[in-house]
Amino acid sequence: PESAIIDGFKWIHWDNGVNHSRLGLTDGGDFSVAIRWDENQLNEYNGDTLQSIRFFIADSGFSEIVVKIWTGDEAEHLIYYDTVTDPVFNAWNEDAIDTLLLLDASLEYWVGYRVLGQESGSLPVGKDNGPRHYPNGEMFSINEITWDAAGSISDNYNWNIQLKLVNKDDTITKCTGFNIYRRKVNEEPLYTL
């Protein structure tokens, strides 16, 4: 193929792209962080493909990270999740979305991850230094039923979480593989794999 590169993508996010500090639960445990967009806030991206999630993991003191995408008020409908294997610590991680998801701008979108088994004293969640985009850039939940804006509890920041969208109007060429055939002169079949 001439090209297997995807062009025409855009990262959408509330953070400034730089990790400034980190947070976690004082006593450890399980919790979720997310960023969100209200319905019709993503009108310019309607029909685009959700490509991947990027997030900053600042510490290794936990057992598992599960990235998630929800729709609806209070993240009521889970539409995607994936357990991240071997995350890189004190760095950005990117998780490719392996399911075809097209953005419907009439819906509310939530993008984030669940930290499982955070150890006491560990601070795995990366955040920028603001300005705070209340309540879109800093949602927090223990049970994924009730969500709060984390900045209302402490500081002026946004989670370092980003969503990659591929523009619906761009031509995308993805090579997933190819076959090689050999031609045999004067033999049947003429071409063999």
**Interval 23-42: pLDDT, tens:** 999 999 999 999 999 999 99
pTM of the model: 0.84
pLDDT of 173 above 60: no
171 DSSP 8-state letter: -
Both tokens assigned to 10? 């855009």
Share of the chain above pLDDT 70, in %: 91
User: What's the alpha-carbon Rg for the chain, to the nearest Å?
Assistant: 20
pLDDT of 106 above 80: yes
Four-CA torsion 43, 71, 158, 136, nearest 10 degrees: 60
Both tokens assigned to 30? 């399980």
Identify the burial level of 30 via C-beta atoms within 10 angstroms of its C-beta, where 0-12 means exposed, 13-18 middle and 19 or more buried: middle
Task: Give the span between the Cα atoms of 14 and 159, in whole angstroms.
Answer: 8
The beta strands (E) that lie in the chain are given as: 9-13, 21-23, 29-37, 49-57, 64-71, 77-84, 91-96, 109-118, 125-127, 139-141, 148-149, 161-166, 182-183, 191-192
* Residue 27: how many other CB atoms lie within 10 Å: 9
Rounded to 5 degrees, what are φ and ψ at 119?
-80, 150
Confidence of residue 166 (pLDDT cuts 50, 70, 90): very high
Task: Give the span between the Cα atoms of 81 and 74, in whole angstroms.
Answer: 17
Say whether 37 sits in a helix, a strand or coil.
Answer: strand
Both tokens assigned to 21? 């500090």
- What's the one-letter identity of residue 16? N
Of 60, 61, 63, the residue nearest 116 (C-alpha) = 63
